[in-house]
Amino acid sequence: MLKYIATFILIGGLATLQNVSAEPVEIDELKDNMAKLADKLPPAAKKQVSYKKDIQPYFEKSCVNCHGPKKKPKGKYRIDTRELALKGGSEGVSIIPGKSKESPFSYYITDQVIDYEMPPTSKREKYPMPTKEQIGLILAWIDQGLKYDN
């Protein structure tokens, strides 16, 4: 019996080390783990996304107060114009248009990067997290080229 328990613990330990279960990672480990973490992203929406209808209302509710023109933007990041969203923040570029699975942004909004859960976990009463459907729309919006004009 003890032998079984020991084996079990050992396998569990190894699994954690290799991150086979794709647990959230530290920001400096994100790049190396992206392929695995990508499996946890919900599917991108299939439809043609409209920024004004599908994306902007959510961003205004949950992101723009911290990442907009009002005050000093958090993480030096603004999301309210295409140019600024593409420029990135203190961690560099987070969106690669056309490539949601290679964009750090996708992992922030799905709580897969420790201390970069967006919106921040402690503020979700005021700034609700995206639903699975909203995440799908945001991923499709990135894949479709990050349009702000439709």
Angstrom distance (rounded) from CA 117 to CA 137: 18
Under the criterion CB under 6 A, does residue 127 sit at the interface with ligand HEC?
Answer: yes
Give me the phi and psi of 77, to 5 degrees please: -120, 130
Task: Say which amino acid occupies 55.
Answer: I
How many residues bind ligand HEC (CB under 6 A)? The answer is 24
Angstrom distance (rounded) from CA 87 to CA 82: 9
* CB within 8 Å of 1: residues ≥ 6 apart: none
Ranges within 74-113 binding ligand HEC (CB under 6 A): 74-75, 77, 79, 88-91, 94, 105, 108-109
Which one, 7 or 121, has the nearer CB to ligand HEC? Answer: 121
Q: What binding mask, one character per residue, do residues 38-77 give for ligand HEC by CB under 6 A, x or -? A: ------------------------xx-xxx------xx-x
Closest distance to ligand HEC from the beta carbon of 49 (Å): 15
Cα separation values, 28 from 19, 108, 112, 115, 137, Å? 15, 13, 12, 12, 27
Among 119, 135, 140, 144, interactor with ligand HEC by CB under 6 A: 119
Q: How many CB atoms are located within 10 Å of the residue 113 CB? A: 24
Give the residues lining the site for ligand HEC (CB under 6 A). Answer: 62-63, 65-67, 74-75, 77, 79, 88-91, 94, 105, 108-109, 115-116, 118-120, 123, 127
